[in-house]
């Protein structure tokens, strides 16, 4: 795949956008460590970024189906890149300015996600899309595995402002590098275009036409809002209180990313006939992550559980994205993809906000047990939906 110049440019751009998206919270975390930023201010900036993301995801999907997907990638990437230096400036001058700029950065991140998803379907022909999606997710996971150490080393020579400027450069790559596609649907005369509200409703109607998609989205949202959120909040607590060391936290997170890399390699060429059931079975593997934290077991078991969770996430993600690119009507793909990102990632902050109070009230064990059960059962129920076996309405 990487020998194809058009895909290589797209792959590099999506990798740059993924790395830039990951980098900002990490760099702002370093600002807390060096005293530039308070923990409260960090929370406010990340909340502003998330708010911009959630607002822009559906809007980006609407615009990417109405205009050129490549144009949406261009302007959203330029918006995120242009606002990033303003965040750096605001850290020294005005937190309000930094928060407003972080909102714009989040909006750029959100708008480009469905546009990239639809652009991949335009540039890569159907037989190679699963391999292409696996290559993209492999690069993003690899960046998140090695980038923290590299950024920490860079931070010893560069300040927070300089590191943020480096992420602005990544956004410039994401905006300018992807190839232009001739497959974008023509927008038509402005007077003939439906309203954005009508377009959004049309996207909902297209999503509902695919029962397997709605069921899978429900399962994914459940796993992210419960299992992913529970382990994100409670893994540090269990690592400290049960094992008495932060090594379990670091080992589990590294194992998760390593597992995801392995899963991307496996699924790049594995095409079982029941691809939907395989994908949902992979998603259910995340249940082993909260399950492993329930009991004071050997830390190696926790690490192994997180490896399984990482493998399973990519066994789900790659066929899921590929099926959407194959089955969803091309002129509605960006809108439907935006619903995917909006519901699955949009509800994650809700889960994160509720897990800690629930653990304080009930104890971590019941919360982890409930989350593990939901992670196992939600994909199993989704597998019963029409078309779920192959992620196709035709059942092929």
165 pLDDT above the threshold of 60: yes
At 332-355, the pLDDT tens digits run: 899 998 888 888 777 777 777 778
- Report the C-alpha dihedral over residues 283, 287, 289, 293, rounded to 10 degrees: 170
Cα end-to-end distance, the chain, whole Å = 25
Q: What is the DSSP string of 206-237?
A: HHHT-HHHHHHHHHHHHIIIIIIHHHHHHHHH
140 pLDDT above the threshold of 90: no
Region 121-140 average pLDDT? 88
What is the rounded CA–CA span in Å between residue 72 and residue 112? 7
Residue 358 burial (C-beta neighbours within 10 Å; 0-12, 13-18, 19+): middle
Among residues 313, 280, 306, 311, the alpha carbon closest in space to that of 292 is found at 306
Among residues 169, 176, 162, the alpha carbon closest in space to that of 76 is found at 176
Question: Which phi and psi angles does 130 have, rounded to 5°?
Answer: -65, -40
Higher-pLDDT residue of 56 and 188 is: 56
191 pLDDT above the threshold of 50: no
| Most confident option among 39-43, 180-184, 263-267, 278-282 | 278-282
**The tokens 């990102």 sit on which residue?**
341
Report pTM: 0.86
Higher-pLDDT residue of 198 and 285 is: 285
What is the rounded CA–CA span in Å between residue 45 and residue 31? 12
Region 215-229 average pLDDT? 89
At 82-123, the pLDDT tens digits run: 999 999 999 888 889 999 999 999 999 999 989 998 999 899
* Mean pLDDT of the residues in the chain: 86
Region 308-327 average pLDDT? 93
What is the rounded CA–CA span in Å between residue 40 and residue 38? 5
Q: From 3.40.718.10, 3.40.50.2300, 1.20.120.530, 1.20.1250.20, which CATH number describes the 203-382 domain?
A: 1.20.1250.20
pLDDT-derived band at 297, boundaries 50, 70, 90: confident
Among the ranges given (156-165, 262-271, 285-294), the one the predictor scored with the smallest mean pLDDT? 156-165
User: What pLDDT is stored for residue 80 in this prediction?
Assistant: 95
At 350-392, the pLDDT tens digits run: 777 778 788 888 888 898 999 999 999 999 999 999 999 999 9
Q: Where are the domains of the chain?
A: 5-126+159-175+186-193, 203-382
35 pLDDT above the threshold of 60: yes
Higher-pLDDT residue of 103 and 228 is: 103
DSSP class of residue 105 equals H
User: What pLDDT is stored for residue 183 in this prediction?
Assistant: 61
Q: What percent of the chain has pLDDT over 90?
A: 40
Region 206-225 average pLDDT? 91
Residues 132, 124 contacting (CB under 8 angstroms): yes
Residues 175, 78 contacting (CB under 8 angstroms): yes
pLDDT-derived band at 189, boundaries 50, 70, 90: very low
Residue 336 burial (C-beta neighbours within 10 Å; 0-12, 13-18, 19+): buried
Paired tokens of 26? 């990490």
What is the rounded CA–CA span in Å between residue 99 and residue 90? 8
User: What pLDDT is stored for residue 185 in this prediction?
Assistant: 52
DSSP class of residue 186 equals P
Higher-pLDDT residue of 320 and 155 is: 320
Paired tokens of 31? 């600002």
What is the rounded CA–CA span in Å between residue 69 and residue 61? 9
184 pLDDT above the threshold of 60: no
218 pLDDT above the threshold of 80: yes
| Most confident option among 140-149, 179-188, 225-234, 291-300 | 291-300
């Amino acid at each position: 795949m990487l020998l194809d110049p058009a895909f290589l440019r797209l792959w590099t751009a999506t990798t740059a956008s993924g790395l830039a998206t990951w980098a900002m919270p990490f760099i702002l975390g370093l600002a807390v460590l060096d005293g530039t930023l308070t923990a409260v201010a960090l929370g406010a900036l990340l909340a502003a970024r998330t708010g911009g993301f959630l607002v822009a995801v559906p809007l980006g999907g609407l615009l990417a189906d109405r205009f050129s997907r490549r144009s949406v990638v261009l302007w959203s990437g330029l918006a995120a890149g242009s606002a990033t230096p303003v965040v750096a400036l605001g850290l020294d001058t005005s937190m309000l300015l930094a928060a407003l700029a972080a909102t714009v950065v989040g909006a750029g991140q959100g708008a480009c996600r469905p546009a990239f998803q639809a652009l991949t379907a335009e540039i890569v022909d159907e037989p190679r899309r699963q391999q292409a999606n696996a290559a993209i997710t492999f690069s993003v996971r690899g960046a998140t595995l090695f980038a923290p150490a590299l950024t920490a080393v860079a931070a010893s020579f560069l300040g927070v402002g300089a590191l943020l400027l480096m992420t602005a450069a990544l956004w410039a790559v994401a905006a300018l590098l992807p190839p232009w596609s001739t497959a974008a649907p023509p927008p038509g005369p402005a007077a003939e275009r439906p309203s954005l509200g009508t377009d959004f409703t049309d996207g909902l109607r297209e999503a509902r036409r695919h029962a397997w998609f709605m069921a899978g989205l429900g399962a994914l949202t459940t796993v992210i809002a419960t299992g992913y959120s529970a382990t994100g909040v409670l893994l540090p607590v269990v690592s400290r209180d049960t094992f008495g060391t932060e090594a379990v936290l670091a080992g589990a997170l590294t194992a998760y990313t390593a597992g995801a890399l392995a899963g991307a390699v496996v699924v790049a060429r594995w095409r079982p006939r029941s691809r939907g059931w395989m994908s949902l079975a992979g998603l259910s593997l995340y249940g082993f992550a909260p399950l492993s934290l329930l009991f004071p077991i050997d830390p190696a078991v926790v690490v192994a559980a997180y490896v399984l969770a990482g493998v399973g996430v990519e066994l789900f993600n790659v066929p899921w994205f590929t099926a959407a690119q194959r089955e969803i009507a091309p002129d509605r793909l960006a809108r439907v993809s935006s619903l995917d990102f909006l519901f699955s990632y949009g509800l994650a902050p809700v889960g994160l906000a509720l897990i800690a109070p629930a653990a304080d009230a009930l104890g971590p064990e019941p919360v982890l047990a409930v989350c593990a059960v939901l992670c196992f059962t939600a994909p199993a129920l989704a597998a019963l939906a029409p078309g779920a076996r192959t992620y196709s309405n035709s059942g092929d």
